[in-house]
Amino acid sequence: MHLLGYFLQAPAAPQFREWIRGHQESRRERNRKLIAKLNSLGVDISLEEVQALGKHLTGRPHFAKVLLRKGYVKTNQEAFDRYLADNASASVERDEPELVEGVRRIRDGGGLPSLAHPVRLPVRDRASPEALLGTLIDNGLQGIEVYHSEHSPEDTALYKELAAQFQLIETGGSDYHGDNKPSIRLGTGKGGNLHLHYSLLENMRRGVAEMTAR
C-alpha cells in the first residue's frame, strides 16, 4: 500500500526529514545487496551504472533499465519478473514503514496523509475498504486519492463517495513516472483520462486548514 504526504502549509518538520533520510539509506543498502545478488546470478552490472540513471533516488526501475540495455532481458516487465519483483530470483527485502506509522509520521511532520491509488489495494481491502479506512483515520489519515490515471469513472465515483462518507479530503494526480510509466502523461494520465482543476489543490489547502482548526 502506498501513502502520499502533502505539505501544504509549511515545509516538513526536521524530525520528518530525518526519518525520510533513514529510509533513503535503507534503500541504498538494499541497492548494494541487490547488486551483489545479481552478480551472484551471473548478471554483470555495477551499482555505478544504475546510479548514473537513478541519481540520488536509485530504485528497481533503474536496475530494470540497465538490465534491458545490457541485453539480460527484453522488456522492463521481464526484468521485474525474472530478477527484481518481490518473489523474483534477485529479490532483496527493504526496511519499509507500516502504513499506520507513515500516516502518523506525516501528520506529526505537519503534512496531509492521503491513501494513494486505492484501486491498487489488496482485493480484500478494495472490496470492503471501510474497516481499513476506519483504522487509518483513527491514526490520522486525512485524505484519499479519488482521481488517478488507473481509476475508471466507476472507481472515481466510489472513492468520491467514500471521501464524503468518512469526511476525507479528495486528492488526485496522474502518477507520472517518466519513462518508467510510458503510458502515463504528466497531468493528463492515460490517453487524456485525467483532468484536474486547480481548485482541487485549493480544496486540499482549505480542508487541512479546517481540520487544523477543529
Prediction pTM value? 0.85
> Which amino acid, residue 202?
E
pLDDT class of 66 with cuts at 50, 70, 90: very high
* Grid cell locating 115: 491513501
Domains and CATH numbers, the chain: 3-9+99-213 (3.20.20.140), 16-84 (1.10.150)
Using one digit for the tens of pLDDT, what is the confidence trace for 161-207?
999 999 999 999 999 988 778 899 999 999 999 999 999 999 999 99
Lowest mean pLDDT, pick from 97-101, 120-124, 195-199:
120-124
The C-alpha atoms of residue 92 and residue 213 are separated, in whole angstroms, by 44
- What is the residue-wise DSSP string for 20-78? HHHHHHHHHHHHHHHHHHHHHTT----HHHHHHHHGGG--HHHHHHHHHHTTS-SSHHH
Instruction: Quick: pLDDT tens for 11-56.
Output: 999 999 999 999 999 999 999 999 999 999 999 999 999 999 988 8
Percent of all residues in the chain with a pLDDT value above 90, rounded to a whole number:
78
pLDDT tops 80 at residue 124: no
User: How far from 38 is each of 53, 63, 83, 174, CA to CA, in Å?
Assistant: 18, 10, 8, 32
- The pLDDT confidence band at residue 151, using thresholds 50, 70 and 90, is very high
